[in-house]
Amino acid sequence: MRFTRAALCAVALASVAVPAAASAATAATTAAPAAVPLVRDCDTPGPWTIGTSAVKIRKSPTTSSIAVGVLYKGHRFTVHSSRSGWHYITDLTTGVKGWVSGTYVYREVRMCLD
């Protein structure tokens, strides 16, 4: 019984694998594969965004440092560097530079579904 079940499974797998391999071989010989771009839009990380209504921009990367500005939801900003869960940013709306907590600021993640 066990041998029969194994033999039937092997025959079923072979019948599926042979046509798939044959069609792949004919597709490879008849058409050249499309060139895949090295960098796709879905591979690059998205823009930085704010996950809350407002974030304080601080002079140094600690919660006890002086606030030098506020980054509101919808403001565009550039992240220059990151350290210990903090990001050194420039608010493109006001020009203020400082540190924001990485708890409230994140980068959108994109995924390619090929």
CA distance 70 to 76: 12
Q: Output the pLDDT for position 67.
A: 96
pLDDT for the residue numbered 13? 58
Q: What is the pLDDT of residue 47?
A: 81
pLDDT band at 8 (very low <50, low <70, confident <90, very high): low
Distances (CA, A) of 54 to 3, 21, 44, 107: 68, 56, 26, 16
Rounded to the nearest integer, the mean pLDDT of the chain is 77
For residues 94 and 77, the answer to whether their CB atoms sit within 8 Å is no
- What's the pLDDT tens digit per position in 25-60? 555 555 555 665 566 777 777 788 888 899 999 999
How does pLDDT run across 68-89, given as a tens digit for each residue?
Answer: 999 998 888 899 999 999 999 9
| pTM of structure | 0.59
